[in-house]
Structure 1
Amino acid sequence: MASAGGQGSPQFPGGLAPPPPAANPSHQSGQQDANAANGSNNTLNNDWVCPGSFEELHKKCKDLMPQPFEGCKLLINKGLSSHFQVNHSIHLSSANNSSYHFGATYVGNKQLSPTEAFPVLVGDMDNNYNLNAQIIHEIVHGLRTKCVIQTQKAVWQMAQLGLDYRGKDFVASVTTANPNIIDESGVVAFHYLQSITRKLCLGAEYLYQYGGGMEGAVLSLGGRYTGKNWIAAATASGMNVNMTYYHIGNESVRAGVDLDVNLRTRESVVSLGYELDVQKANMTVKNSIDSNWTITSVIEKKLLPMPFTLTLSGILNHVSNKCQFGVGFIVG
């Protein structure tokens, strides 16, 4: 089931992109995270006011990990106005998954912060006529709705509707996916995250699925503790446990550890990643290594003053002796 939480991170180059920020240069992200750790904005120390959604407990650490690709990619962004932009992306790969995507994003006039405006309409269609679309809007203060639609050619794949209520110190959400009254099937999820103190928040997720004369439910528990310049989070769902640790070294370096344990199969995977923001070179480096001996690296270099970004990607597994490389180019 697709996420019903935040808008998520942009995918390069064919995924659904979130609304572009009004004014937030990417090379300042390291400084902002460092300031947040010292309590100068709402990113870390003020999470007790609104802890965010349950699905975003591990977001800081997950965003550190590189998102590699194989082959050649070209992404062209074109802003048609201050509220509307389109993009074209081409992916050429030797793995027989070459594709073309056309996407469009509309951001409304309801400005809540320098990086948030509503309503948001995002759409993406590829050369196989697969459609992904999202509509996000804040109906009233604190109450947000999100609708996600996915089709595969002419076949309806998924319809999801979610509501988030963001109170002073909690977030409550309900999401339903593929509801079918005639066949009596679908999925319903409830999330709740509560700030206990300025640094500690706890919550739970209840997922209920029914259909085909069968039904099942899964309860997940989670929490997050925010230190001066670090965040530790953990979630437990059935026989699965996920723990992450995110640390800010300085305005240029951030690191994280992700531990995923499956108690049923007695298997676990540990990933260590870091992000290096070289502001003087307008370059960002993301590297990671996991317990399966897979090394991943993604380098982004802004070719200023031109609106171009060069992306290099690499994956190397020392056990299977397999490696993949990718080159990407972003215009706009």
Structure 2
Amino acid sequence: MGNVLASSPGFSSPLPTSPIPPSPTIPGQGDKEASQSSLEPPVSDGLPGVEDAFPNNPGTMEDLHKKCKDVFPVVFEGGKFMLNKPISNHFQVAHTLNFSSIQPSGYKFSATYVGMKQTGPAEAYPVLLGEIDPSGNLSANMIHQFTPNLKGKVVAQIQQSKCQATQMSADWRGSDYTASLTLGNIDIVNDFSGVIVGHYLQKITPKLDLGAEIAYQRGPQVPGGHIAVHSMAGRYTGDKYVASGTIGGAGLHLCYYRKASETLQFGVELESSAKMQESTASFAYQVDIPKANFTFRGTVDTNWTIGAVIEKKLMPLPFTFALSAVHNYPKNQFKLGCGFIVG
């Protein structure tokens, strides 16, 4: 739903930040929406690219802390194996095996379709993504750029032959602003419940962006029947750094990203909740060695948890090897993960 809401721990208990839990992936695979980049872009239909049409657009509120978040490693436990198989320029399938004592294990099949409407050098729509396991649990995504201004997304999750969660969102991009609306688990037939979140992000100067969010939830599980929270957000982009923050909903979320060199990046994150009366600070770094096709990400936080992920592309073969480790000193817990990607 957006990082502004996610940065409000005091509000996240009655109002989940996203009704669709993300599917487990091996680090390095990136967001599902970016999976279309692995398929060959179709011939352009003349529609101008979104980035070219709106060079001063600040992006979406969901990506407010993206620069800093991308530095942090996505640690995992157990073993993961993924096989990607392109069927055509527009269609790709993947087979995934997970072995874990903590996260759900087993086999999953996923498919990705990229349409003929090209909106940029490596961007085409519509994008259809689906993932299913042997038990019939299904998650589906549909993303489409209707016009250079309007982009929509629909997500659904089916478990035990029942629709457990739905989410619909729309982003309207202006010349120097973005307005977004997200609807989650809306039910107007039985008990008139659901979540509605609105975002607005405005570019004030070439380096400064300011925005706001309002979230409303209605349902029998919410104390008082309904609740509403608003948040404020800001981002300042320097030559080699990005500072961003959100405040609201009895919570504070601050991020700082800096690119120290071509091979080294840093990220610092602070999350504080007045309701929970706790704060957590995290530090992460990323080291890239392009000549060795090697990436290392590490992190440490104030809870004395240390984690790291190593990714190595085994060129010239289409293989990627990932090794993950995380250790919590107060709890004396150590977790190790190993992943292998083909394709």
- TM-score bracket for the superposition, by shorter chain length: 0.7 to 0.9
Deviation at 1:124, TM superposition (A): 0.9
Which of 208, 212, 215 is equivalent to 1:207?
Answer: 215
What is the one-letter code of the residue matched to 1:251? E
Q: CA RMSD in A?
A: 2.5
The answer to whether the aligner puts 1:283 opposite 2:291 as a matched pair is no
Which of 46, 70, 81 is equivalent to 2:88?
Answer: 81
Deviation at 1:48, TM superposition (A): 7.3
Change (3 A) 1:140 1:9: farther
Deviation at 1:127, TM superposition (A): 3.1
What is the one-letter code of the residue matched to 1:203? G
Separation (CA, whole Å) in 1 of partners of 2:103 and 2:35: 31
The answer to whether the aligner puts 1:11 opposite 2:18 as a matched pair is no
Deviation at 1:11, TM superposition (A): 2.9
Is the 1:15–1:124 Cα contact (8 Å) retained in structure 2?
A: no
Change (3 A) 1:173 1:180: same
Gaps (5+ residues) in structure 2?
Answer: 1-15, 40-50
Paired position in structure 2 for 1:167? 174
Which of 188, 196, 210 is equivalent to 1:188?
Answer: 196
Deviation at 1:115, TM superposition (A): 3.3
The alignment's TM-score, normalised by the length of structure 1, stands at: 0.87
Gaps (5+ residues) in structure 1?
Answer: 25-41
Paired position in structure 2 for 1:265? 276
Which of 62, 67, 72 is equivalent to 2:69?
Answer: 62
Deviation at 1:20, TM superposition (A): 3.0
Deviation at 1:10, TM superposition (A): 8.7
Paired position in structure 2 for 1:132? 139
The answer to whether the aligner puts 1:176 opposite 2:187 as a matched pair is no
Paired position in structure 1 for 2:47? none
1:240-255 paired onto structure 2 within 5 Å: 240-255=251-266
Change (3 A) 1:210 1:15: farther
Is the 1:20–1:115 Cα contact (8 Å) retained in structure 2?
A: no
Separation (CA, whole Å) in 1 of partners of 2:294 and 2:103: 31
The answer to whether the aligner puts 1:116 opposite 2:123 as a matched pair is yes
Separation (CA, whole Å) in 1 of partners of 2:207 and 2:244: 11
State percent identity of aligned pairs: 45
Is the 2:36–2:127 Cα contact (8 Å) retained in structure 1?
A: no
Which of 107, 112, 120 is equivalent to 1:105?
Answer: 112
Note the alpha carbon deviations across 1:277-302, whole angstroms, 9 max, x for none: 11111111110001111110000100
Deviation at 1:264, TM superposition (A): 2.3
Note the alpha carbon deviations across 1:10-58, whole angstroms, 9 max, x for none: 932899722435489xxxxxxxxxxxxxxxxx79xxx971111112111
Q: Aligned with 1:280: secondary structure?
A: helix
How many residue pairs match? The answer is: 310
The answer to whether the aligner puts 1:330 opposite 2:306 as a matched pair is no
Which of 249, 254, 257 is equivalent to 1:238?
Answer: 249
Q: Aligned with 1:82: secondary structure?
A: coil
Separation (CA, whole Å) in 2 of partners of 1:321 and 1:243: 29
Separation (CA, whole Å) in 2 of partners of 1:170 and 1:249: 29
Q: Aligned with 1:69: secondary structure?
A: coil
Separation (CA, whole Å) in 1 of partners of 2:213 and 2:103: 38
Q: Aligned with 1:140: secondary structure?
A: coil
Deviation at 1:153, TM superposition (A): 2.0
Change (3 A) 1:82 1:155: same
Q: Aligned with 1:64: secondary structure?
A: coil
